[in-house]
């Protein structure tokens, strides 16, 4: 390994808040001119976008999971560069990752909403799916660019950016090689094989709960109290990177739902009139009377009560965030307007690593995109100017306002609550469209297409802020990332549309042997009563919104707390375990330099867990899709497998702690 390679590492202040007067200098400083956009990086990025869009769409609709493509693409990009003997590939690999990562976010936006058209007995042509995904992706890019500097530079060190951190570590280690690359590879192998053993062979359970014990089963059945813990290596690594503070806040939201709200509602089940309870849970009275105990499980109460409260909290947290960031929004809009009306030569020189697309160009493309969306709605979906104008206003206002919410969520927890925000979009869109005379099947089609555009826009905003943060840490040119992201969006949208049409014709989304599409089924369940008459849990949304206001007033981050209410407990509790490990290893010694070395080593190990879990998780899901069943029958669902899972998880946490503590100050 050359001396230059040995010196490849992120600056010491990459992940922490800066001191007064301190600045961050990226790995590739502004004074350098790294190779970024080349025929190789563009072609590789497009190939990654096609492959991962197709894979994510197949797996998301068949298995119900959309994997994040950024980390696997970063691993492939770094690996291919090494195999081909290419040098100084860091800038090109960021472009490959940025173009290719369009796949996951476009897929999430499309498959969360558009299959609901088929589920409701409606139809969707290729051009409708393609344009919905394309326009949503373009909106997400354009609306985020004005906020790039705020999120990635001004808030330096204030947000953990877990996925961006893991991807950055992968790219740096791939470029550096040597001990760091070996450490990342070993951690990736351990985490990947650990998760692969669960997903493919069922050697132990993916999650454990208090039902493993007799007293836990009694507590779940009688008191509706249950605690779950996901045993995934990837989620453990995610918790380490998020840190103890945010992990505790997120899990506190879960604790409120699972340990207070769910048991409280469950205790009232026998004293409430069945008709009122059926209305509260969103089920028919006949279903309730047929098997009330089956409905009143902690999991169902979470789905029917906890998640709607979480949605209300996310929505209000978003509104609060919009109000608090109103000055930033005004500055971004003011900059766009002033630059659009001024002379191009009037702008001061900006260093390469902070050079965005000009606001004049962004605003021009945004206006053109909105005009195209209006034409799409007016001539392809709706009748009348009033309905078309209403639809375009819904899309723009909600996408614009919630762009910062999506970016905030990704920055904090690494998970975009896009399904929750899209549900709110569908509810609002349905109410507004119904007020202008649009309902029935036409109304459902319009609302779902509108929801698809907004969902994709928010998904893209959340995913793109990850790309830009990676570029900020490493020192790529934002303008080049922003420009070529458009190409990735176009390729991903076309691929997803084609795959979805093929899947609908081959498998369908309704009936025996149909694709699962769980998110789209949820969207269909929400929108149908709104457009045809039915119950909507307005009171639960209001409760969540009120809770967010209270949390904000006492200084608790409402968005993180509401995310905890919306995301299942079993996925949040492991974040605390990872956060505790991070706190322990970084505070164990009196030597601050040693603590820093240990924390950095742990970050690399955690990134390896996430990367390995993501890569072999794709392989495991592909085997499931191909109906390759290697699971040990009977054992995988047994109590013994759950105890084994708990033991293996403890062993994994101990291994991570021990391995992290082996760090030396001179590493």
Distance CA(222)–CA(385), nearest Å, equals 56
Residue carrying the six token digits 């290697």: 630
Could you tell me which residues are beta bridge partners of residue 230?
A: 207
Rg over alpha carbons for the chain, rounded to the nearest Å, is 24
Four-CA torsion 412, 418, 423, 424, nearest 10 degrees: 50
Given a cut of 60, whether residue 387 has pLDDT beyond it is: yes
Residue 167 structure tokens = 């991807």
Q: Give the torsion sign (CA, 238, 242, 245, 248).
A: negative
The length of the chain is 667
**3-class state of residue 476 by DSSP:** coil
CA-based nearest residue to 227, from 653, 642, 634, 594: 642
Question: What CA–CA distance (Å, rounded) separates 54 from 170?
Answer: 24
Residue 477, phi-psi category: left (phi > 0), alpha (psi -120 to 50), beta (remainder): beta
- In three-state secondary structure terms, 630 is coil
> Of residues 357 and 446, which shows the higher confidence score?
357
With respect to residue 23, please indicate whether it lies within any of the assigned structural domains.
no
Q: Could you count the other beta carbons within 10 Å of the beta carbon of residue 223?
A: 13
Cα–Cα distance for residue pair 638/646, rounded to 1 Å: 13
Q: For residue 397, what is the DSSP state? A: H
Structure confidence at residue 518 as a pLDDT band (50, 70, 90): low
- pLDDT reading at 201 higher than 70: yes
Render 634-659 in DSSP notation, one character per residue.
Answer: TGGGSHHHHHHHHHHHHHHHHHHHHH
Residue 112, token pair as written in the block: 């969360």
Q: What is the pLDDT of residues 305-319, one digit of tens each?
A: 888 888 788 778 877
Could you tell me if residue 20 is inside a domain?
A: no
Write down the mean pLDDT value for the chain.
Answer: 81
Q: Count of domains in the chain?
A: 1
Instruction: Find out whether 305 and 277 touch, Cβ atoms under 8 Å.
Output: no
Give the helix/strand (H/E) hosting 316: helix 307-324
d(CA 148, CA 143): 10
**Contacting residues for 403 by C-beta, under 8 A, at least 6 apart:** 140, 143, 144, 147, 457, 458, 461
Place of tokens 């570590």: 169
The predicted model scores a pTM of: 0.73
Rounded Cα distance between 612 and 183, Å, is 12
CB 578 within 8 A of CB 247: yes
How many CB atoms are located within 10 Å of the residue 122 CB? Answer: 14
Q: Per-residue DSSP letters for 341-376?
A: HS-GGGSPP--GGG-PPPHHHHHHHHHHHHHHHHHH
Residue with tokens 């943060």: 469
**What are φ and ψ of residue 448, in 5° steps?**
-70, -40
CA atoms of 351 and 268, how far apart (whole Å): 62
Q: Is residue 11 included in any domain, yes or no?
A: no
- The DSSP code for 334 is H
Q: Per-residue pLDDT for 241 more than 80? A: no
Q: Give the C-alpha separation, 486 to 482, whole Å.
A: 7
pLDDT classification of 235: cutoffs 50, 70, 90 = confident
Around Cβ 666, how many Cβ atoms within 10 Å? 6
Give the C-alpha distances (Å, rounded to integers) separating 399 from 4, 15, 328, 452: 44, 29, 16, 11
Q: Which residue has the tokens 């010491």?
A: 12
Range of the domain at 44: 35-217+220-258+289-344+352-660
Measured over the CA atoms of residue 102, residue 117, residue 419 and residue 362, the dihedral's sign is positive
Output the pLDDT for position 1.
44
Residue 3 lies in a domain: no
Residue tagged 């555009």 (tokens): 453
Residue that the structure tokens 């836990």 belong to: 216
Q: Give the model confidence (pLDDT) of 566-610 as tens digits.
A: 778 888 899 899 999 999 998 888 888 888 888 878 887 887 887
If you average pLDDT over residues 45-73, what whole number do you get?
A: 73
Q: Is residue 281 part of a domain?
A: no
Report the candidate in 49, 64, 414 with the shortest Cα–Cα distance to residue 234. 414
CB–CB of 573/251 below 8 Å? yes
Check pLDDT > 50 for residue 32: yes
CA distances from 59 to 54, 70, 72, 193, 517 (A): 9, 16, 15, 20, 10
Total H helices, total E strands in the chain: 31, 2
Q: Mean pLDDT across the stretch 397-415?
A: 77
The Cα–Cα gap between 382 and 369 comes to: 18
248 has pLDDT over 90: yes
- Other Cβ atoms within 10 Å of 234 Cβ, number: 26
Does any domain span residue 555? yes
- Whole-number pLDDT of residue 22: 85
> Does the pLDDT value for residue 105 go beyond 90?
no
Please name the residue ranges forming H helices in 177-284: 178-196, 214-223, 233-242, 244-256, 262-267, 274-281
The answer to the question of residue 273 being in a domain is no
Q: Rounded distance, CA 372 to CA 367, Å?
A: 9
With cut-offs at 50, 70 and 90, classify the pLDDT of residue 207: confident
pLDDT band at 341 (very low <50, low <70, confident <90, very high): low
Place of tokens 């639960």: 540
Give residue 478's pLDDT.
93
The DSSP call for residue 664 is -
Most confident of 153-157, 428-432, 544-548, 624-628: 544-548
CA distances from 622 to 48, 59, 493, 661 (A): 17, 7, 21, 36
Closest listed residue to residue 32, CA positions, set 347, 348, 351: 351
Residue 50 falls inside a structural domain: yes
Phi, psi at residue 415, to the nearest 5°? -125, 125
- Residue 581 is predicted with a pLDDT of 95
């Amino acid at each position: 390994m050359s001396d230059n390679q040995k010196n490849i590492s992120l600056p010491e202040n990459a992940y922490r808040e800066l001191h007064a007067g301190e600045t961050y200098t990226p790995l590739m400083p502004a004074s350098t001119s790294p190779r970024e956009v080349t025929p190789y990086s563009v072609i590789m990025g497009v190939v990654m976008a096609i492959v991962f869009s197709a894979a994510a769409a197949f797996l998301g609709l068949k298995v119900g999971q959309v994997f994040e493509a950024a980390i696997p693409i970063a691993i492939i990009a770094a690996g291919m560069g090494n195999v081909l003997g290419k040098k100084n590939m860091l800038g090109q690999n960021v472009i490959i990752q940025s173009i290719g990562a369009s796949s996951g976010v476009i897929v999430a936006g499309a498959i969360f909403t558009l299959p609901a058209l088929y589920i409701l007995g409606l139809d969707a042509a290729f051009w409708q799916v393609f344009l919905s995904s394309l326009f949503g992706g373009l909106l997400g890019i354009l609306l985020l660019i004005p906020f790039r500097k705020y999120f990635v530079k001004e808030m330096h060190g204030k947000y953990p950016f877990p996925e961006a951190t893991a991807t950055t570590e992968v790219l740096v280690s791939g470029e550096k090689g040597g001990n760091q690359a070996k450490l990342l590879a070993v951690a990736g192998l351990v985490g990947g094989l650990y998760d692969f053993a669960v997903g493919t062979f069922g050697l132990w359970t993916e999650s454990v709960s208090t039902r493993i014990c007799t007293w836990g089963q009694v507590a779940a059945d009688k008191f509706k109290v249950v605690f779950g813990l996901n045993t995934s290596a990837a989620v453990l690594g995610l918790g380490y990177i998020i840190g103890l503070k945010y992990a505790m806040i997120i899990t506190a939201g879960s604790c409120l739902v699972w340990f207070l709200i769910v048991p409280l509602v469950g205790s009232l089940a026998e004293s409430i009139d069945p008709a009122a309870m059926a209305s509260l849970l969103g089920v028919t009275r006949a279903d309730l009377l047929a098997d009330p105990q089956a409905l009143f499980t902690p999991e169902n109460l979470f789905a029917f009560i906890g998640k709607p409260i979480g949605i209300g909290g996310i929505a209000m947290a978003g509104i609060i965030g919009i109000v608090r960031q109103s000055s930033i929004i005004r500055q971004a809009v003011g900059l766009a307007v002033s630059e659009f009306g001024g002379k191009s030569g009037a702008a001061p020189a900006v260093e390469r690593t902070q050079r965005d697309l000009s606001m004049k160009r962004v605003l021009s493309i945004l206006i053109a995109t909105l005009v195209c969306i209006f034409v799409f709605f007016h001539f392809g979906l709706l009748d009348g100017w009033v309905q078309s104008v209403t639809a375009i206003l819904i899309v723009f206002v909600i996408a614009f306002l919630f762009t910062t919410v999506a970016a905030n969520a990704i920055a904090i927890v690494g998970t975009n609550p896009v399904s929750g925000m899209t549900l709110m979009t569908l509810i609002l869109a349905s109410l507004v469209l119904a007020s202008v005379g649009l309902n029935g099947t036409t109304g459902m089609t319009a609302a779902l297409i509108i929801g698809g555009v907004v969902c994709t826009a928010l998904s893209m905003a959340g995913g793109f802020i990850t790309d830009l943060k990676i570029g900020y840490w490493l020192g790529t040119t934002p303008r080049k990332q922003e420009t070529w992201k458009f190409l990735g969006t176009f390729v991903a949208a076309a691929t997803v549309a084609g795959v979805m049409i093929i899947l609908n014709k081959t498998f369908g989304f309704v009936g025996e042997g149909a694709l699962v599409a769980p998110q789209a089924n949820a969207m269909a369940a929400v929108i149908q009563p709104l457009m045809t008459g039915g119950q909507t849990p307005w009171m639960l949304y209001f409760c969540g919104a009120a809770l967010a206001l209270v949390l904000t007033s006492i200084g608790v981050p409402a968005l993180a707390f509401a995310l905890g209410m919306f995301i299942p407990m079993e996925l949040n509790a492991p974040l605390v375990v990872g956060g505790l490990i991070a706190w322990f290893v970084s505070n164990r010694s009196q030597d601050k330099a040693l603590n820093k070395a240990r924390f950095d080593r742990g970050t690399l190990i955690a990134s390896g867990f996430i990367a390995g879990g993501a890569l072999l998780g794709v392989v495991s899901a592909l085997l499931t899709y191909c109906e390759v069943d290697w699971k040990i029958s009977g054992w995988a669902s047994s109590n013994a497998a759950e105890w084994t899972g708990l033991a293996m998880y403890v062993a994994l946490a101990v291994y991570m702690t021990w391995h992290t503590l082996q760090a030396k100050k001179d590493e």
